[in-house]
Amino acid sequence: MDYVDPKNSLNMPEMADTTLAMDFLVRVKEGVRNTAVALTETFSNDARTLLHHQLHQGIALHQEITELMVRKKWFHPYELQKQYQLDQLSANKTVDISKMKLFPDDTTRKGMFDRTPDEHIGGNQA
């Protein structure tokens, strides 16, 4: 099977979009959590004001990403069966990709360079 053939990349752009969106959502959630922790540990009023503002921005961004993903049917937070099906599809696709022979068996780099890696060491260094 030729994995470079475009017919074998059917639906890959959409799958990449969903993966990137979910990764973005998770990272924004981490940022909100970290900002909330920092807010509780900060004494300076100026720093607290800044963190409070950043926390609200993070929450708004999380909501925006979630709404986009729900609208595109990439995320089903209230329909667990549909979300489970999406997660299963993603897991199966990951397993399929892991089984692909994407690289040659012989991955030695010998013969790929005009000289061996050790030739430039020693000898003619000024």
* Domain membership flag for residue 60: yes
Q: Which residues contact 1 (CB under 8 A, 6 or more apart)?
A: 8, 100
Instruction: Give yes or no for a contact between 75 and 81, defined as CB atoms under 8 angstroms apart.
Output: no
* Domain membership flag for residue 97: no
* Domain membership flag for residue 98: no
pLDDT digit string, tens, across residues 93-114: 888 877 877 776 766 666 666 6
* Domain membership flag for residue 55: yes
The model's pTM is 0.67
* Domain membership flag for residue 101: no
* Domain membership flag for residue 100: no
Among 18, 31, 19, 85, smallest CA distance to 61 is for 31
Q: Which domain holds residue 56?
A: 6-75
- The count of domains in the chain is 1
The fraction of the chain above a pLDDT of 90, given in percent, is 52
